[in-house]
Amino acid sequence: MVSGEKLDFAVGYGMDQQMMDDVHAIPGERNGELIVQPAEFIIKPGGEIAASVYATTQLGRMSPREIAVFVKDRS
C-alpha cells in the first residue's frame, strides 16, 4: 500500500521497541511476538493530522461511519 499510494510519510510496519518508544506507540503481544497496537490517523490534504487514535481494543477506535461524519463535519 505504501509504495502503491506513493505515501511520503512514515508508516509503522516492522517496528522494533526503540521505534515504538520514539513515537510513543503502545506495544502489545500477539502469538508471542511484540506488536504495535493499531493506530488510526485522519490526515488533511495538506498533510496535517486532523485526528489520531491509539487503542488496544476495538473500543475507542472509530468506525467507518464515525470517520465519514468527522471528515464531513470538518470540510
What's this model's pTM, rounded to 2 decimal places?
Answer: 0.52
* Of 49 and 57, more confident: 49
User: With bands split at pLDDT 50, 70 and 90, how would you rate the model's confidence at 4?
Assistant: confident
Strand partners, 41: 52
Q: What is the DSSP string of the chain?
A: -HHHHT--S----S--HHHHHHHT--EEEETTEEEEPPEEEEE-TTS-EEEEEE-SSSTTSPPHHHHHHHHHHT-
User: With bands split at pLDDT 50, 70 and 90, how would you rate the model's confidence at 71?
Assistant: confident
Parse the chain into domains and list their residue ranges. Answer: 1-37, 38-75
Residue 32 has pLDDT above 80, yes or no: yes
Residue 14 has pLDDT above 70, yes or no: yes
Residue 18 has pLDDT above 80, yes or no: yes
